[in-house]
Amino acid sequence: MSTINSKGKKGKVMNRIHGRSRCIWNKWSVLFVCVAILLGVFLAGSASQAADMLKVGLLEEPKSLNVWRASDRWSWKVLGMIYQPLYVRDPETLDLVPWLAAEAPELDADTLSYTVKLRPAKWSDGTAFTSEDVAFTARLINEFEIPRYRYKWQFVDKIETPDPQTVRFYLKEPKAIFVPRSLTIPIAQKKQWAPIVEQAKKTEKPLSTLLNHKMEKPIGCGPFVLEEWRSGAYLYLKKNEQFFGSGKEINGRALGPHIDGLLFKVFGTSDAAVLAMKKGSIDFFWWGVQSGYMDDLRQNRDIRLFTSERSALYYMGFNVRRPPFNDPHLRRAAAMLIDEDFILNRILQGYGIKMHSLVPPGNVYWYCPDVPRHGEGLDREGRIKKAYEILQKAGYTWEVPPVDESGDVVKGEGIRLPDGKSMEKFTILTPPADYDPHRAMCGMMMQEWFRMLGIPAYSKPTAFGSLLEQVKVKHDFEAFVLGYGRLSLDPDYLRTFFLSRNDKRRGWNMSGYHNPDFDRIADKSAETMVRAERRELIWEMQKILMRDVPYIPLYNPKLVEAVRAERFKGWVEMLGGVGNIWTFCELQPK
């Protein structure tokens, strides 16, 4: 009885509660939406103040604004607007043009010295930019042996500053990289850095102290100056009123900046950045747009996509220190089997450029068009037949040859090395698909192509840190797929990558390639100061490398960048994309 009563009573009570709670929930949801909309209206109301500010989306936050420490690309996107070099690249010819320098460097071959005249310029704090700043920067690098800069300056013997607008560098030995690499580093202000340097020298680890110095207000000569950095949210650079190029014509280009400032906003993912771009929250997403977003972005009339070439190299490397890849015939056969057209059209969906050499074709001056082209123009069967022919001539045998007696291609099995031993299975290390799906997929495809010839290849996606440790530190691998997204436009990296003496722990000759002829030409190229003569040597190096194939160039991905078209005009396209110093100096509100 009591239960029935209780239930009946409970039912009434609960109906009441129900009705009330539904009412409460309705009220709350209406209130919630109203508050949100009001907040939105209130907060959006203050957006008009920054009409001429270019909003740039970054994928990650810059790690440091200490110019000597910063190594991540995000920091450099910001620092590149503040610190400036003596020379920059012309967007069309890619030749070096004077920037903080007033004219081209003058070489005195007798004294092995370069004289650089400086442009009248001021730092963002209003003080004059002088030759003392340039000399200070170079001396600081050499004294502290700053990583990444040291090798560009260690051959400079002496620096003179005859007057505030002239600086003279005396080299210990001829060095071809002096102008393209040494004179393109950012110049730091002596006034700001000298006290920091003195303080660092007094500590137990001066280099660490210098690198760990937290730079909160970097002073530069660039078109923008840091106004505010809200960690985790945004970084605001305002127009530098002292910028030396303001209102002037440099390299035939009328410079601004014509915008009030740059606002760098951090997005953790491309998804968020692309949505922000579509919504109009950012004007430029300074990162390559992945192919999955392109169709969607193309349909938006307010968004413009720029497709640029990159100075990049994605390649397959071999460990030539040990069998089986110490045999150039096998490497050539492997190069023959790799179908670059498939990689470009199917894996990269057309957003890539074929690489015939280890210098990207976009680097027009240094790219050698006459290198051996393995398998070009051949279809899949033609490639297999050609690779089979190469290996057969070199003494390789098969239990089941990949080309039968009637000349048809079949699946090869039981490949044996020229010494009669069976080829053991080997792994192709690739970055994992979540790091780079293209390289992971290339590894899978190459595994299949090699297996068609009976070569027992296994693609193994490996965590990036582990891959680098195996390849670069331990040299414990057979083959790998890696890439450089931002190669220097000076081709000295060819020497760095393949010089015999760089085959060491943590050295850049990861393949362990040894060729005395290559070493001789490479060393000569490093000493040749006449550009045209150096080009001959660089071309010769490319030909040797494509004949010996320690690396097989796979592709050079194109860079697709998205901008909002309705707010700004004057985007400057160049190798490496529209995010360059010329764009930020020339961009104008519409």
Per CB under 8 A, contacts with other proteins among 31-50 are 33, 36-37, 39-40, 42-44, 46-47, 49-50
Residue 322 touches other proteins, criterion: CB under 8 A: no
Q: Which is nearer to other proteins, 66 or 242 (CB)?
A: 66
293 dihedral zone (left: phi>0; alpha: psi -120 to 50; beta):
alpha
The alpha carbon of 394 is separated from its chain's Cα centroid by a whole number of angstroms, namely 39
**Which residue in this structure is represented by tokens 């930020």?**
584
Q: Does 506 bind other proteins (CB under 8 A)?
A: yes
* Nearest one of 270, 277, 354, 371 to 558, comparing CA atoms: 354
Report how far residue 255's alpha carbon sits from residue 276's, in angstroms, rounded to the nearest whole number: 29
Edge to edge, the sheet with strand 156-163 lists 106-108, 113-117, 166-171, 156-163
- Quick note: the x/- pattern for other proteins over 195-234, rule CB under 8 A, is ----------x-xx--xxxx-------------x-xxxxx
Q: Is 406 in the site for other proteins (CB under 8 A)?
A: no
Residue list 343-402, contact with other proteins (CB under 8 A): none
Name, in order, each residue with C-beta under 8 angstroms of 335's C-beta and a sequence gap of 6 or more: 374, 375, 549, 552
How many Å is the Cα radius of gyration of the chain? 30
Residue 321 found at the interface with other proteins (CB under 8 A): no
Q: How far is the CB of 454 from other proteins (least distance, A)?
A: 32
Shortest Å distance, C-beta 174 to other proteins: 20
Q: Please say which residue, 251 or 496, places its beta carbon nearer to other proteins.
A: 496
Could you tell me the two tokens for 437? 């799906």
3-state secondary structure of 252: coil
**Surface-to-core class of residue 500, CB atoms within 10 Å of its CB (0-12 exposed, 13-18 middle, 19+ buried):** middle
- Binding to other proteins by residue 300, rule CB under 8 A? no
Residue from 99, 123, 236, 285 binding other proteins (CB under 8 A): 236
Sign of the C-alpha dihedral computed for residues 382, 383, 389 and 392 taken in this order = negative
Task: Figure out which of the listed residues 265, 383, 534, 564 binds other proteins, where binding follows CB under 8 A.
Answer: 265
Q: Tell me the window of 93-101, 407-415, 459-467, 530-538 that interacts with other proteins (CB under 8 A).
A: 459-467
What would the two tokens of residue 528 be?
A: 């040749």
Question: Contacting other proteins (CB under 8 A), which of 187, 429, 468, 552?
Answer: 468
Cβ proximity to other proteins, 411 vs 474, nearer residue: 474
Among 419, 465, 516, 532, binds other proteins (CB under 8 A): 465
Tell me the per-residue interface mask from 53 to 92 with other proteins, x by CB under 8 A, - otherwise.
Answer: --------x-xx-x--x-xx--------------------
DSSP-derived secondary structure for 537-574:
HHHHHHHHHHHH-SEEEEEEE-EEEEEETTTEE-----
Residue indicated by tokens 């963002």: 124
Q: Is 314 in the site for other proteins (CB under 8 A)?
A: no
Smallest distance from other proteins to CB 263, Å: 6
Q: How many residues bind other proteins (CB under 8 A)?
A: 84
Please give the single-letter amino acid code of residue 495: R
CB 394, min distance to other proteins, A: 32
Query: In the complex with other proteins, which residue's Cβ is closer, 467 or 587?
Result: 467
Applying CB under 8 A, the span of 10-18, 317-325, 417-425, 561-569 interacting with other proteins comes to: 10-18
1 binds other proteins (CB under 8 A): no
- Using CB under 8 A, which of the segments 79-87, 267-275, 292-300, 573-581 binds other proteins? 267-275
Q: Collapse the DSSP code of 355 into the 3-class scheme (helix H, G, I; strand E, B; otherwise coil) and give the result.
A: coil
Give DSSP secondary structure letters for 214-251.
--SS---SSSEEEEEEETTTEEEEEE-TT-TTTT-EET
Q: Which stretch binds other proteins (CB under 8 A): 155-163, 277-285, 351-359, 556-564?
A: 277-285
Q: How far is the CB of 118 from other proteins (least distance, A)?
A: 25
Chain positions 144 to 183 lying near other proteins, rule: CB under 8 A, are: 145, 147-152
Among 272, 294, 394, 565, binds other proteins (CB under 8 A): 272
Choose between 452 and 526: whose C-beta lies nearer to other proteins.
Answer: 526
In the complex, what is the shortest distance from the CB of residue 143 to other proteins, in angstroms, rounded to a whole number?
A: 14
Report how far residue 49's alpha carbon sits from residue 471's, in angstroms, rounded to the nearest whole number.
Answer: 52
CB of 371 to other proteins, least distance (A): 20
Sign of CA dihedral 567, 572, 577, 579: negative
Nearest to other proteins of 187, 255 (CB atom): 187
> What span, in angstroms and rounded, lies between the C-alpha atoms of 443 and 431?
9
Per CB under 8 A, does 51 bind other proteins?
Answer: no
Length of the chain: 590
Closest CA to 310 of 559, 553, 144: 559
CA dist., res. 323 & res. 400, Å (int): 22
- Candidate list 155, 342, 365, 484; residue touching other proteins; CB under 8 A: 484
Of 155, 166, 493, 540, the residue at the interface with other proteins (CB under 8 A) is 493
